[in-house]
Amino acid sequence: MSRNRVLTGSRAMVEAIAQEMRVDPTVFVMGEDVGPYGGIFSSTTGLLDEFGEERVRDTPISETAFIGAGVGAAMAGMRPIVELMFVDFFGVCMDAIYNLAAKNTYFSGGNSKVPMVLMTATGGGYSDAGQHSQTLHATFAHLPGMKVVAPSNAYDAKGLMTSAIRDDAPVLYMFHKGLQGLAWMAAPEGASTEVPEDPYAIPFGEARVVREGGDVTIVAISMTVHHALAAAEALAKDGVDAEVIDLRSLVPLDREAVLASVRKTGRLVVADEDYRSFGLTAEIIASVAETDPGLLKSAPRRVACPDIPIPYSRPMERFALPDAEKIRAAVQQTLNRAVA
Amino acid sequence: MYAPSSVDAPRIHTPDFITESALTIPIYGMLGEDGRPYEGADPSGVAKEIVLAMHDAAVFTRLLDERMVAAQRQGRLSFYLTATGEEAATVGSAAGLEPDDMILPQYREQGALRYRGFTAAQFMDQLFATEDDLGKGRQMPVHYGSRALSYMTVSSPLATQIPQAAGYAYGQKLAGEGRCSICYFGEGAASEGDFHAALNMAAVIRCPVIFFCRNNGYAISTPVSEQYAGDGVAARGVGYGVRSIRVDGNDFLAVYLATQEARRQAVSEGVPVLIEAMTYRLGAHSTSDDPSGYRSRKEEEAWQRFDPIARIRAFMEAQGWWDAERDEALRQGYRDEILAAMKTAEAKPAPSLARLIEDVYAAPPWNLTEQYEALREQVRANPDAYPKTAGRIE
Ligand SMILES: Cc1ncc(C[n+]2csc(CCOP(=O)(O)OP(=O)(O)O)c2C)c(N)n1
Ligand SMILES: [Mg+2]
């Protein structure tokens, strides 16, 4: 019988990786500081001890080398998990990601596959400035050929990681540092959850309704799910009943879950820690509008990071990043400014 | 040099491969561990004022680092990163340059910046993101920059400064003003593709740039034994046609003289030069790191005896230029100055909210203006939910 324990996001990720490594010898891990250090964000803690350095490989400091090598190894029949320490550093290795991992299957006429997991840390809120705090969901979701997931809690972290490893497509697994349960970065209540010991997989493209409500739909992902829940609690005191949807994956996108909720509420707020312009928030609103523009009773609202590099200064960063207050204000706007 | 296709290349008739041991690179050193010049090493070319100035900047940097690590532990700032043990590499090299040569740092080069004259107040304004910070409170701690001191603002992604340095130097050469650039990077960063791309191009198009590698043994937790299989970084320069030297990075005099000579060649001949300074990162990678998981205390202690500051001090004392009393006066003066500067900075206002959208573009486009207005409205409607920026939100 499977036991449930409360785990942090990072413990849940490591458990999924270890369980797959035990049953599948093709799974191995590569990256910077993933060995004795156990990952800067504890995403590989303990793996070296159990599986040894052939399968848990610290690499030279070259993302071009180890992500490119990950693509090659995946095409050779392995299931590599490679870690890009901060998503902000994708610039030095992007070709391996979007021209190789994402396109090799297509251009080989479907004759090759790239079952690689690229896990990477996202998000701000800890005064580390704009080259260590970006979220960049849309940057990757925009590019065809990769699946893109972003868990908001430990239960999903494990289930989505298991699916990512088993998937034959390249999967970008984007975890928010603030949800990992790290000693130096407080996680919101609800990030650590009960997690079954037995392996389980959460299918991609299935959003989850984390709070039911009839007045307004708040679509969120990763860290903004927690902001949205806090906003919903505050709104409940004002007599507003908000529904909160955790998308969990961007690609594939569970458009139907969003539509079903908006059909019910008629009002929509989308919250994402990524930049506002050309992003997930716009995509969700567009997908509702183009499916049935009559669903919305008021103008939809988005809450996201302004189109600026994220600043270090604590007060400035606080102003810039999405939070529960901003989501609450956006919801109020959808309620007040009804489109006649 | 033979081009690969050269018809003149000598021929061999057995398939003999060349190994890395064919090229054994010596280490250029002037001072032994005890601070005494090696036999055959003549330190008379280094002026007394230069030695004192290097020592001064190194002591300041060491004390600043100690103070800021303590401050980070007390929760007074989010992040810090020391250069402890690497002061000779960073300060000594800066001393070998002209003041308006360009510096493109990695991030552990506060010693070079200090040598150029960055003040305690300027360090603190950056670290505490005050309204007087030259970078307007935007870049993370230790990512200093100063246009006045020709010090490019630090950028976090590793090795990206190396191709830029080649280009900066190429621009300097075209401008014809006799300047060059120095580019610092770690031995870990030298594994990034940008290092290789930059060295090759700088050699081919002839850029007056000094590539300065701080080989401090580690890239966070990765030791050099897992970083490269060849003979360090200097050997690579040779392959790209870049003149290269390996220096004792804990020896101020050797670093200074090597950099001075590298500068002379770079500027007078318009060529790149590579210096690999062998040193050791005595502290943690940063305040987010705990090295006890990947290296032993014993190893760290063994390196303490190569402390560059102790070595140059012994040299200065032997010359009759320094004594314990002056040393204590210097240190006490800097301790007081640093502490006072920190307290002043902590009491200063943060940059105003308006600065959020400045400098993204020369003038904020409508989307930024609208986003800023919405933020202001948000703050106005919920004044208690947001931190104060000295009441200057308006
Ligand atoms: C492209 C990129 N990858 C990874 C990192 C994370 N990172 C920051 S410092 C560092 C180690 C660098 O080591 P080294 O170049 O030897 O410099 P040192 O810290 O030893 O001075 C790593 C991996 C980064 N900043 N940029
Ligand atoms: Mg290093």
Q: How far is the CA of B189 from the centre of ligand 1 (A)?
A: 6
* Active centre residues of A (catalytic): 132
Q: Which residues of B touch A54 (CB under 8 A)?
A: none
Domain ranges of chain A: 4-196, 208-334
Average pLDDT, chain A: 96
Write down the pLDDT at residue A340: 39
pLDDT digits (tens, 9 = 90+) for A39-71: 999 999 999 999 999 999 999 999 999 999 999
Atom of ligand 1 at shortest range from CA of B285: 19
pLDDT digits (tens, 9 = 90+) for A288-319: 999 999 999 999 999 999 999 999 999 999 99
Whether the pLDDT of residue B336 is over 70: the answer is yes
Whether the pLDDT of residue B392 is over 90: the answer is no
pTM equals 0.95
B218-219 vs B209-215, strand pairing mode: unpaired
Q: Which ligand is nearest to the CA of A32?
A: 1
* B129–A92 C-beta distance less than 8 A: no
Write down the pLDDT at residue A338: 43
Average pLDDT over residues B82-107: 98
Tell me the percentage of chain B whose pLDDT exceeds 70: 97
pLDDT digits (tens, 9 = 90+) for A150-207: 999 999 999 999 999 999 999 999 999 999 999 888 899 999 999 999 999 999 999 9
Write down the pLDDT at residue B24: 86
Nearest CA in chain B to A63: B192
* A89–B158 C-beta distance less than 8 A: yes
Each residue of A90-129: b (16+ CB within 10 Å) or e?
Answer: bebbbebbbebbbbbbeeeeeeebbbbbbbbbbbbbbbbb
Write down the pLDDT at residue B393: 54
pLDDT digits (tens, 9 = 90+) for A90-143: 999 999 999 999 999 999 999 999 999 999 999 999 999 999 999 999 999 999
Q: Which ligand is nearest to the CA of B220?
A: 1
Please give the Cα distance from B94 to B99 (Å, whole number): 8
> Which residue's alpha carbon is nearest to atom 13 within ligand 1?
B219
Q: Is the peptide bond before A252 cis (omega within 30 degrees of 0)?
A: yes
* CA count, 13 A, side-chain hemisphere, B243: 18
A234, A238, A239, A244: CA torsion to nearest 10 = -30
Architecture (CATH level 2) of domain A208-334: 3-Layer(aba) Sandwich (3.40)
Structural tokens at position B280? 């050791």
Write down the pLDDT at residue A207: 98
Number of other residues whose CB lies within 10 A of the CB of residue B305: 10
pLDDT digits (tens, 9 = 90+) for B134-182: 999 999 999 999 999 999 999 999 999 999 999 999 999 999 999 999 9
Whether the pLDDT of residue A147 is over 50: the answer is yes
Q: What CATH code would you report for A4-196?
A: 3.40.50.970
* Domains by residue range for chain B, with CATH: 27-221+229-347 (3.40.50.970), 353-390 (no CATH)
Q: Which of A87, A274, A277, A319 to mutate to probe the B interface, most B CBs <10 Å?
A: A319
Average pLDDT over residues B96-123: 98
Whether the pLDDT of residue B35 is over 70: the answer is yes
The pLDDT confidence band at residue B206, using thresholds 50, 70 and 90, is: very high
Q: How many residues does chain B have?
A: 394
Structural tokens at position A125? 């809120």
What strand order describes the sheet that includes B102-104? B27-28, B243-248, B273-278, B209-215, B181-186, B102-104
The pLDDT confidence band at residue A1, using thresholds 50, 70 and 90, is: low
Q: Which residues of B touch A124 (CB under 8 A)?
A: none
The CA distances from residue B74 to A243, B67, B69, in Å, are 41, 11, 9
Which residues' Cβ are closer than 6 Å to ligand 1?
A 32, 61, 63, 85, 89, 92; B 108, 156-158, 185-189, 214, 216, 218-220, 281, 285
Cβ atoms of A49 and A77 closer than 8 Å: no
Q: How far is the CA of B220 from the centre of ligand 1 (A)?
A: 7
Q: Which residues of A touch B157 (CB under 8 A)?
A: 88-89, 91-92, 131
The pLDDT confidence band at residue B4, using thresholds 50, 70 and 90, is: low
Number of other residues whose CB lies within 10 A of the CB of residue B85: 25
Cβ atoms of A212 and A263 closer than 8 Å: no
pLDDT digits (tens, 9 = 90+) for B366-388: 999 999 999 999 998 988 888 87
Tokens 């207005």 found at: B373
Closest CA relative to residue A270, chosen from A288, A282, A257: A282
Q: How many residues does chain A have?
A: 340
* A329–B386 C-beta distance less than 8 A: no
B192, B293, B357: residue with CB nearest A92:
B192
Q: How far is the CA of B184 from the centre of ligand 1 (A)?
A: 12
- List, in sequence order, every residue forming a beta bridge with A86; answer none if it has no partner: A121
Atom of ligand 1 at shortest range from CA of B189: 15
DSSP string over A158-187: HHHHHHHHH-SS-EEEEEEGGGS--TTSPP
Q: How far is the CA of B222 from the centre of ligand 2 (A)?
A: 8
A92, A129, A316: residue with CB nearest B140:
A129
Whether the pLDDT of residue B30 is over 80: the answer is yes
Average pLDDT over residues B316-332: 98
Nearest CA in chain A to B370: A306
Exposed, middle or buried, A1 (CB in 10 Å: 0-12/13-18/19+)? exposed
pLDDT digits (tens, 9 = 90+) for A264-290: 999 999 999 999 999 999 999 999 999
Please give the Cα distance from A272 to A251 (Å, whole number): 15
Q: How far is B142 from chain A (nearest CA, A)?
A: 11
Average pLDDT over residues A79-98: 97
* Active centre residues of B (catalytic): 281, 285, 294
